[in-house]
Amino acid sequence: MIKNTSPPLAAEPPAIDGFTFVRPIGSGSTSNVYLYRQSGRERPVAVKVGNVARDARAAARIIHESNMLGHLPKHPNILPMLAMGTAGHGVNYLVFEYASGGSYGKLLRTRTLTCGEMLDLGVTLADTLCVVHRAGVVHRDIKPGNVLIGDAGEPLLADFGIACSVYGAGDAGYSIPWAAPESLTRQRPCEATDVYSLAALLYAMLAGASPFEYGYRPKSSAQLRNIVLSKPVPPLRRADVPESVESLLRRAMEKNPADRFPTMEDFARELRQARQAAQPNHAVAPGARSGGDDAPLPHMPARTAVRLFHGFPRRTHARMALMLVLSVAPAALLLIALAGGHLDSVQSPGQVHVLDADEPIDLDPAPEATHMALGLTRKPL
């Protein structure tokens, strides 16, 4: 695996009214994450701060991430933003829930998943990304380090720093081992872009490394990029993984987006069917979605929802209209709470805009907890 060359974490966390610095958590390419304790509520929180000294785009990405999160409804498998604000010297920051479960990137350093565990994870994340896509957002940076583990073991999708609207191209940020070919060649992202990255993550949870690092052992990032663009997905060398499951992942990682599952809903449905075939007596954990009445709403990409509406009978129109209202309303309410979702309305230095609050949780004081950029977890809802 190619070594991470991110610079060390900056030593000076910002002073934020109402929050007391505890310790650093981790560092990413454009941001640092610190553990703070929120005064009054006495709960730990994770504060993400753009590192402008390292990357001029850092401040813009903090603002951008808050905007993208403002488009999303509250969801049990999306790490929620609690607050946003500006500290001294104009430093923008975001406050997230925190717990001590780590990330799937950290887990991957110690073990792989069974096929059943991988399919459970895949169904949950695919269903979550259906909600993200339904809100008109493409994540663009799905990887093990951006999927966190909650206190109850639930996966939490995090880090929307390079997410984009389905109508926009986004910036050029990506992680090569997990990026779809169209991201590497700076083409417009789409839902199939996230399908590819989710499949690469699921493959890695079986293989122990990203697909093309596992199969081809590249010596540099440039070599890895060329391999991703030109080589086929290498075979998994695990006797316990059915060929049907491996074929499913290969299709989701086709070079051409048109050859993949066209939407995340299609991928979610195939993952669910694969899980049922592999585990016919599978018992779904409380709160998990497994089809039937708990299945995701029928998926309609934002750009085609109105056009598709005219292809259904009149009675179906009413039913789909209700579905659309129910799926859009939470995002609209959150946008109102965000006062437009833009940090041009961020408070004066030192103030914080609290968006949400849950009951206090205990701080895990273990200093050895190391998470890369938003390697955070939270209490279950």
Binding residues for ATP: 48
User: For residue 203, with 0-12 CB atoms within 10 Å meaning exposed, 13-18 middle and 19 or more buried, which class applies?
Assistant: buried
* CB count in 10 Å sphere of residue 29: 20
For residue 78, give the DSSP letter. B
Q: How far apart are CA 91 and CA 77, in angstroms?
A: 28
Whole-number Cα distances in Å, 111 to 65, 72, 101, 106, 338: 31, 32, 15, 9, 39
Farthest CA pair distance, the chain: 61
Whole-number Cα distances in Å, 319 to 135, 310, 323, 325: 19, 13, 6, 10
> From the candidates 43, 57, 134, 140, which is the catalytic residue?
140
Q: How far apart are CA 295 and CA 298, in angstroms?
A: 9
Catalytic, 378? Answer no
Q: Are 92 and 62 contacting, i.e. CB atoms less than 8 angstroms apart?
A: yes
In DSSP terms, 21 is beta-bridged to: 36
3 state SS for 144-167: HHHEEECCCCCEEECCCCCCEECC
For residue 123, give the DSSP letter. H
DSSP-derived 3-state class of residue 31:
strand
Sign of torsion over alpha carbons 261, 262, 268, 273? negative
Residue with tokens 């069917």: 273
Taken as a whole, the chain contains a residue count of 381
Whole-number Cα distances in Å, 320 to 157, 315, 316: 27, 9, 6
Compute the C-alpha angle 331/194/72, nearest 5°.
10
Catalytic annotation, residues: 140
